[in-house]
Copies of this chain bind each other. A is one copy, B any other.
Amino acid sequence: MKPEPADAIATALDQLRSRGERITDARRAVIETLAHLGDHPSAEQLSTSVQETHPSVHRATIYRTLDTLTALGVATHVHVSGGASAYHLASSTHRDHLHASCLACGRIVDLPGDLLDPVVSRLSNEGLFLLDPSMVALAGTCEDCLAVRAPS
């Protein structure tokens, strides 16, 4: 089900090009690494990974690139409770899912994108708050860690 990383990379680069952004080695490196990791790395982790293949790319550039990619909608990030932000490409197959960080193992897991729709409606109806699900950092325990803690 996972798309070829190559597809995701090409898509991302196209998005950059069509926005008139420049394609540089650093940006290519960030996008390629994001695509190949496929995970939800933090900027710091990503920085480490990128430097394995492209040692000349500076950390600060990674941060700036992620900023740019996020601003363009090519990538998204979740601010994880008390930790570093997690990034991933906004490829079409991953679209519109939510993120939750497991307090036990620290991983970011994907959850259904419509999960918070009822909550958004309720808050909206009651005039309390305009909730932006994509900005929400859910937290709790993932199924793997649940299995460990509470074996049947």
Contact = CB atoms under 8 A, between A and B. Distances in A.
Contacts of A138: 129, 131, 136
A23 interface: no
A6 interface: no
A103 to B, nearest CB: 7
Interface string A112-133: 1001101100110001111110
A137 B130 CA distance: 14
How many copies of this chain?
2
A85 B79 CA distance: 12
Nearest to A134: B139
23 contacts: A79-B81, A79-B82, A82-B85, A100-B131, A103-B132, A109-B129, A111-B123, A111-B128, A111-B129, A112-B128, A115-B119, A115-B123, A118-B119, A127-B143, A129-B143, A130-B142, A130-B146, A131-B138, A132-B139, A136-B137, A136-B138, A136-B139, A137-B137
Given A79-B81, A111-B129, A136-B139, 10 more contacts: A79-B82, A79-B137, A81-B137, A100-B131, A116-B119, A118-B118, A129-B140, A130-B140, A132-B139, A136-B136
